[in-house]
Chains A and B, each alone.
Chain A
Amino acid sequence: MSDLECQAMPTPRQSPSAKSGFIIGPVYDSVFIIGAPILAVLIVIPLFGLSSSSLFGYPIKGVIRDTRQVFIGSFIAAHLVLVYFRSHANINIFRTHPFCFTVVPAALLIATAMSPWIMGIAGAVAIWWDVYHSSLQTFGFGRIYDAKQKNSPIAGRDLDYWMNLVLYAGPVLAGAHFMDHVRQSLEQLLFLKASQSPIGVLLMETTPDFLQRHQGYLTATVLAFGLPFAIFYLYSYYCLQRQGYRVSWQKVWLLIVTGSVSIYVWGFHSFLDAFFVMNFFHALQYFAIVWFTEQQNLTRIFRLDRFSFGKSLTLAWIVVFCFLYGYWAGYHVTGVWGSGLAVTTAIMHFWYDGFIWSVRKQQV
C-alpha cells in the first residue's frame, strides 16, 4: 500500500479499553452511549413535569418561549452542526468525499435560498430523514460494538439494520404521534395552500385526512412485521453465535435500553416530551463520539495543541459555538439564506453520517 493510500485512510483511534468491548471506556460508554437514553428520560421528563411553564417564560424576538424547550431545542440543533467537525475538519475524512463536502452543500444552500419549493421539500424530508437517521445511529454504535468483539463487519448487519428501524422508527409510525410528524412536515409547504395551488390542497387537506383514516393499517403493519421480526432477530443471532459470532453485551444493552425508552416515551408521553427525550440522547451520544474521535484533531484546529489546558478549552469552544449555532438556528434565524443554511446543515448531517463513520472502512 502506498503512502498516499495510507494517508487517505482514516486512522482508527486505539482505545485502551478496546479489549473490554467498549468503544471508549466502561464509564464513558455507560453514561454517554448505552445509558444516554435513560439519562435523557431522567433529565427531560422531570424537567418538563416540574411546574407550570410560566415560570420558565423568556421572550425571544418578542415571543415568550419556555427556556426548558429552548435549552433542549438548542442542544438538539447544536449536534447537527457538529458533523462538520468530523466531515470537514478531519482532513482524512474530507479527502474521501470532497465533492459531497463542497459542491453538494453549496448547491443545496443556493437552491433552498432561491426556491421556496426546494426549501419546503428539504424541510419536510429533513423531518423524516431525522427519524431514519436516528435509528441508524443506534445501529452504528451496535456495529462498532460488534467490531470490538472482532466479529465480521457484515455478520448480522442486515438484521441490526432492520431491528433498529423497528425499535426507533416503528413506534413513530405506529404510535399516536405519527400525525404530528405528518402535519409538521406538511407545514413546510403551507405556502402552496395559500397560493391556491391544487398540490397545496392535496398535501394540506387530502393527504393528512387519508393518512389519519388509514393509520390503523400502518400500526397493524408495523406490529405484524415488528413482533415476528424480533423473534427472528433473536433466533438468527443464536444461529450466528453457534457459528462463532461473539455476542457484544454492550450492543445488547444498547438495543434493550434504546428500544425500551423509545416505546415508553412515544407510547406514554406527549409528542414534545418524546421528541425531546429521543433527540436529547441522540445528540448526547453524538457529542460523545465526535469528541472522542476528533479531540486531538480539533485541539490542533483550535491552535491549542501546545497548551496543557488545550483539550479542555477546545471542548469548551465546541460546546459554546455549537450551542450558539443551535440557539440561532432554532430561534433566531431570519431570511432565506439563514434558513437555507439551517436546512442544509440538517440534511448534510443526516446524509454525511451515513458514510463518515463506516466500520467496514475502519473509519471508527
Chain B
Amino acid sequence: MTTGMSKQCEKTESPPILESPKNGAPRRYTLLALGFNLGLVLVAISMIWDLWFGKPFATALERFWLVLYSVGLGLSAWTWLASSTLPLWMRRALICGALALIAYGGVDSAREFDAEGQVLLPGRIVRDRFVHDGLGVSFKVPHNMRLLRDVSVTSPYSGQDASRNRLRFGEQATLFRMALPNDPEGKSSPIRLHVKPFQFSRLDVVVLQVLNQQTGLASQQGVRLVRPMRLYQLGQLDIVEFEILRDPKPALTRYVYLRSGSYLLTFVLTSPNAQDRALFDDFIQSIQITHRTTRFNA
C-alpha cells in the first residue's frame, strides 16, 4: 500500500550502513568483500564438519579444525568491520576486540580438548581415596574393598580405535571395579563409575534422561522402584538419584548422577543388604569434584 508519506520517503534512500564504493576505493571494497565471503566459506566448512561429523579425535586434526574455524571467524569479522562506515577508531577497537575474543575462544577450546583426552586414564589411590585427575573427581574407598583399574568402553559405533583416549557422544566408559574379599575379581562390584560425555542442553533434559532410565529399569521383571528420582544439592554438587530393589535375590541399587565438566558421571551403588542406605549416603558424602563445572544447569 502506498501513501503520500511513503512516496516521499521512497525518494530518500535508506541510510547507508556500509561504505559505498562509489566515492572511495572500489578495489579496496571488492577485496574486503571477497575476504569477508572467503571467511564465511571457512566458517561454514568448519561448522558443517563439527556438526555433521563431530570434532576430530586426533589432536593435529582438531588443531587444524580450530585454526580453520578461527581464521574464518577472524577474517570475516575483520573484513566486515573494515568495510563498514563506522568511525575509524571504533572500527579498530572492534576489530581488536573481535580478534582477541576469537583467540581467547580458540585457546580455551584447545585447553578443553586436551583436558577431555585425560578421561580414560586409570585413577589412583591416594591414602584411602580414589583420585581421577582427568575427571577431577575423588571419593573415599570403603576399607574392605580393593580397586581394580579396568577401564572399558561401550560404544554404539563400529570400528573402535583401541588406542584412543577420549569418548564420543553416545559412548560410555566404566573406569574401575571394586573387589570384595569374597569376590576378588569384582564381578559384582558394589561400586561402579560410568562416564559419558555431558550432552545436555539444560536441567530438565538431564532430569528427563534420568527419568527415562528409571522408568526403563523399573519396568523390568523382578525390579521394584523403592525410592523415585529426586534432585538435590550436596555442597557444590548437583545430584539426581533413584533407588531400585531387585528380587528374588535382593539387591538394593542406587543410581547417582553428577556432572564433572564435560562429563556425566553415574555411580551405581549395589548392596545385598537393604539396610545399607546409610553406607550409600556416607559414600556420596565423600565424593568431591574440583576445578570442574558441577551444576547441571551451567
Q: Interface residues, chain A, CB within 8 Å of chain B? A: 1, 3, 6-7, 9, 11-12, 14, 18, 59, 61-63, 91-92, 116, 119-120, 123, 147-148, 150, 153, 187-191, 193-196, 297, 300-304, 306-307, 313, 317, 320-321, 324, 327-328, 332-336, 338-339, 342, 359, 362
Query: Given the complex of chains A and B, what is the CA–CA distance between A304 and B83 in angstroms?
Result: 12
- 22 A–B contact pairs at CB < 8 A? A3-B12, A9-B5, A11-B6, A11-B10, A59-B170, A62-B171, A189-B204, A190-B208, A194-B231, A195-B230, A301-B17, A303-B33, A303-B36, A304-B37, A306-B26, A307-B33, A317-B40, A324-B44, A328-B51, A336-B202, A339-B201, A362-B6
Chain A residue contacts of B182, Cβ below 8 A: none
A11-B6, A339-B201 given as contacts; is B30 within 8 A of A306 (CB)? Answer: yes
Interchain CB contact (< 8 A) of B156 among A62, A188, A190: A62
Chain B residues 216-232 with CB under 8 Å of chain A are 229-232
CB pair B168 A190 closer than 8 Å: no
- How far apart are A300's CB and chain B's nearest CB, in angstroms? 5
Least CB distance, B14 to chain A, in whole angstroms: 5
List chain B residues, Cβ under 8 A from A328: 47, 51
A12-B2, A116-B202, A335-B298 are contacts. A194–B51 as well, Cβ < 8 Å? no
Q: Which residues of B contact A91 (CB under 8 A)?
A: 14-15, 17
Q: Across the interface, do A306 and B202 meet the contact criterion of CB distance under 8 Å?
A: no
A188 to B205, CA, bound (A): 8
Max count, chain A CB within 10 A of own CB: residue among B79, B157, B171, B231:
B231
Which residue in B1, B202, B204 is a CB contact (below 8 Å) of A12? B1
Contact B229 A194 (CB under 8 A): yes
In the bound complex, CA of A195 to CA of B2 (Å) = 58
**In this assembly, does B207 line the interface, its C-beta being within 8 Å of a C-beta of chain A?**
yes
* A6-B12, A306-B21, A336-B297 known; A61 vs B170 contact (CB < 8 Å): yes
Contact of B169 among A18, A61, A342 (CB under 8 A): A61
Query: How many Å lie between the Cα of A302 and that of B231 in the bound state?
Result: 48
Q: Within the assembled complex, what's the spacing in Å between the Cα atoms of A359 and B8?
A: 18
Beyond the given pairs A116-B202, A300-B18, 9 more chain A to chain B contacts, judged by CB atoms under 8 angstroms and listed by A's residue number, are: A62-B171, A91-B14, A196-B230, A301-B18, A303-B83, A306-B26, A324-B48, A324-B51, A333-B201
Q: Which residue of A lies closest to B22 (CB)?
A: A306
Q: Which residues of A contact B203 (CB under 8 A)?
A: 116, 119, 191
B64 contacts across to A, CB distance below 8 A: none
CB-based nearest B residue for A340: B202
Q: Are A62 and B170 in contact (CB under 8 A)?
A: yes
**Does B130 sit within 8 A of A, measured CB to CB?**
no
Contact B207 A191 (CB under 8 A): yes
Closest to B47 in A: A324
- Measured in the bound complex, the distance between the Cα atoms of B79 and A161 in whole Å is 45
Q: State how many angstroms separate the Cβ of A59 from the closest Cβ of chain B.
A: 6
B198 at the interface (CB under 8 A from A): yes
Are A334 and B199 in contact, with the CB atoms below 8 A?
A: yes
Tell me, rounded to whole Å, the shortest Cβ–Cβ distance linking A117 to chain B.
10
Query: How does the 8 Å CB contact mask read for B121-150 relative to A, with 1 for contact and 0 for none?
Result: 000000000000000000000000000000
Which of B44, B204, B298 is within 8 Å of A188, CB to CB?
B204
A61, A190, A306 interface centre (most CB from chain B within 10 Å): A190
The residue on A at minimum CB distance from B198 is A334
**Residues in A whose Cβ lies below 8 Å from that of B191:** none
Please count the residue pairs between chain A and chain B whose beta carbons lie under 8 angstroms apart in the complex. Answer: 140
Instruction: Answer whether A11 and B80 are a contact pair too, CB < 8 Å, given A191-B231, A302-B37, A359-B1.
Output: no
Interface centre among B14, B36, B156 (most CB of A within 10 A): B14
* Least distance between B296 CB and chain A CB atoms (Å): 8
Who on chain A is nearest to B36 by CB?
A303
Chain A CB within 8 A of B9 CB: yes
Q: Taking the complex as formed, is B240 at the interface, i.e. its CB lies under 8 A from any CB of chain A? A: yes
Name B50's closest neighbour in chain A (CB-CB). Answer: A332
Contact of B207 among A61, A194, A301, A332 (CB under 8 A): A194
Q: Which of B281-298 contact A (CB under 8 A)?
A: 297-298
Beta-carbon contact of B44 and A321 below 8 Å: yes
Q: Which residue of B lies closest to A342 (CB)?
A: B201
Q: Is the CB of A11 within 8 A of B1?
A: no
In the complex, what residue of chain B is closest to A362 when comparing beta carbons?
B6
Q: Check if B80 sits within 8 Å of A12, measured CB to CB.
A: no
Closest chain-B Cβ to A315's Cβ sits at a distance in Å of 13
A120 to B203, CA, bound (A): 9
A71 to chain B, nearest CB (A): 13
Distance A300 CA – B29 CA, assembled complex (angstroms) = 12
Known: A147-B1, A196-B230, A324-B48. A119 touches B10 (CB 8 A): no
Interface contact A9-B201, CB-CB below 8 Å: no
- Least CB distance, A314 to chain B, in whole angstroms: 10
Q: Given A1-B5, A91-B14 in contact, is the A190-B207 Cβ separation under 8 Å?
A: yes
Of the residues B33, B51, B199, B229, contact of A62 by C-beta under 8 Å: B199
The answer to whether A62 touches B29, judged by C-beta atoms less than 8 angstroms apart, is no
B273 located at the interface, meaning its Cβ lies under 8 Å from any Cβ of chain A in the complex: no
Interface assignment of B211: CB less than 8 Å from any CB of chain A: yes
> In whole angstroms, what is the CA distance A148 to B17 when docked?
30
B1 contacts A306, C-beta separation under 8 Å: no
Q: Does B32 contact A (CB under 8 A)?
A: yes
Write out the residue numbers on chain A whose beta carbons fall within 8 Å of the beta carbon of B40. 302, 317
> Do B240 and A306 touch across chains, with their CB atoms under 8 A apart?
no
Q: Is B275 an interface residue (CB 8 A)?
A: no
Q: How far is the CB of B257 from chain A (nearest CB, A)?
A: 11
Asked if B200 lies at the interface with its beta carbon under 8 angstroms from chain A, I say: yes
Interface check B3, CB cutoff 8 A: yes
Bound complex: CA of A333 vs CA of B201, how far in Å? Answer: 6
Q: Are A62's CB and B204's CB within 8 A? A: no
Contacts of B204 in A (CB 8 A): 116, 119-120, 123, 187-191
Known contacts A62-B171, A195-B231, A306-B30, A14 near B51 by CB under 8 Å: no
A103 to chain B, nearest CB (A): 20
CB closest residue in chain B, given A144:
B1
- Min Cβ gap A340→B in Å is 8
